[in-house]
Amino acid sequence: MFSLQNKKAVITGGGSGIGKAISILFAKQGAEVHIIELSAESAQEATAEIKTNGGKVFSHACNVASHKDIIAVFEKIGAIDILVNNAGIAHIGKVDTTPESDFDRIMNVNVKGVYNCLYAAIPKFRQSKGGVIVNMASIAAWVGIPDRFAYSTAKGAVMAMTLSVARDYMGENIRCNSISPARVHTPFVDGFIAKNYSGQETEIFEKLSKSQPIGRMGKPEEVAALALFLCSDEAGFITGCDYPIDGGFIKLNNQ
C-alpha cells in the first residue's frame, strides 16, 4: 500500500523540517523527488540522505515567490504526478504591529508562492493525465492564534485555494487537499525558542508542547505520513478536504 512507484513528485521547501520528512518518505516509497528550495545548499542534507538510501532525487534552487523562475523550473522538470506546496515562512504580530513590508513578504511566499506553483504545475499534470496536490495550510486557518495575523491570513488563503483548485480540476483527474498541522517540532522551533527565550529554552519548549491537548508537538514524520496517504492511489476518492493534524488542538482545547 501507499506506493509511489513511477510517480514524479515536486516538493517545495523539501530540504528541511516537514518538507524534508516528506521528501525522504516519498523517495522511500518509490517516487522520483524534485525538491525546490531557495538555495542548493538548503536541499543538500535531504538529497544526500535520499541518495544514500538508493532513492532518486533532484534539487532546484528557486524562490517560489518568483513567477518567472518557478515556471522555468517546472518546464525543466516536465510532466509530474504530485505537487506538495510546503514552502512557507512564519511571522509574529497583530494587525497594528505588522509592517506593510512584513505583510507583503508573507503574502509573496505563503500565498503567491503557492499560486505560482499551482499555475506552473497544472499543465504538467495534464501531460500525466492527472495527479494530486497537497497544500500545507495550518491550524491558524481554523482558529484564532494570538499574534499571528499575517500568517493566519496567508494560511486561510491556502485553504481557500485548495477548495477552488479541487473544484476546478476534478474533471481532469487532478485532486487537491490540504494539511493543517499544529506545532511541529522542527529545527525552526528550536531556533525560535533560542532566539526569543534565551535561558528559558526547557520551560518554553514544555509550554509550547503542552499547548496541544495531546501533550506534545507533532513530528515531521507524522505529517509526512499523512501527505503520503493523500498522494497515494489509496486516497483516490478524496479531494477538496483539509486535514488537521494537531494533537486535538482545534476540537479539544476548550473542553
pLDDT tens, 4-39? Answer: 999 999 999 999 999 999 999 999 999 999 999 999
The pLDDT score that the predictor gives to residue 192 is 83
Helix ranges (DSSP H) in 39-112:
44-52, 67-77, 100-106
Domains and CATH numbers, the chain: 8-182+219-248 (3.40.50.720), 183-217 (no CATH)
Strand ranges, E, within the chain = 8-12, 32-37, 56-61, 82-85, 131-136, 174-181, 242-245
pTM for the whole thing? 0.96
> CA dist 61 to 64, 72, 85, Å?
9, 11, 15
Q: Which of 150, 28, 41 is nearest to 88 (CA)?
A: 150
According to the model, what pLDDT value does residue 240 have? 98
Look at residue 254 in the predicted model and tell me its pLDDT.
61
Spatial separation of the C-alpha atoms in residues 27 and 22, rounded to whole Å? 8
Structure confidence at residue 195 (pLDDT)? 86
- CA dist 166 and 188 (Å) reads 31
Q: Which three cell numbers stand for residue 14?
A: 523539501
What integer pLDDT is reported at residue 112 of this predicted model?
98
Q: Is 115 a catalytic residue?
A: no
- Report residues of the chain scoring pLDDT below 50: none
* Catalytic residue (choose from 151, 169, 197, 243): 151
